[in-house]
Amino acid sequence: MSVTQAPSWPFVEAEIDRIITDSAEEPFDADIVANAREFVRFAREHCSVPEVGRGYLPTVRFSWSMPSLEIEVFADRFEIYRFHDRRTDITEVRHAPGNPLPSELTSDLPKRNAD
């Protein structure tokens, strides 16, 4: 399970495509792909560029070092991992593709740097 530092949002999108294509033996659920793309559409306007990689299951992971945060995308939810010294807080946020992203997911994302 590797994570690639994404230099740009187009790179993030291309890396998601590569992760999905490379998982032919363990195909991604269409709702995981839809949720990942919806997240990217929101995040590219509001967040700094994350690292992107494949999760433990056939999922997509986005992570930032400051703050130490990871979001794993599933078909029916997002799992938010906040890493602290000696503990990890995990929050599950339900989401179905096509619905607005919940504020529990979007409110604490790393802010995009001013251009």
The three-state secondary structure class of 13 is helix
Give residues with Cβ within 8 angstroms of 17, minimum separation 6. Answer: none
Find the range with the poorest average confidence among 32-36, 42-46, 59-63, 110-114: 110-114
Closest among 82, 73, 75 to 107, alpha carbons compared:
82
| 57-114 tens-digit pLDDT | 899 999 998 889 999 999 999 999 999 989 999 999 999 999 999 999 998 788 876 5
The structure tokens listed for 53 are 């990689």
Residues 6+ apart with CB under 8 A from 86: none
Nearest to 77 by CA among 110, 50, 107, 38: 38
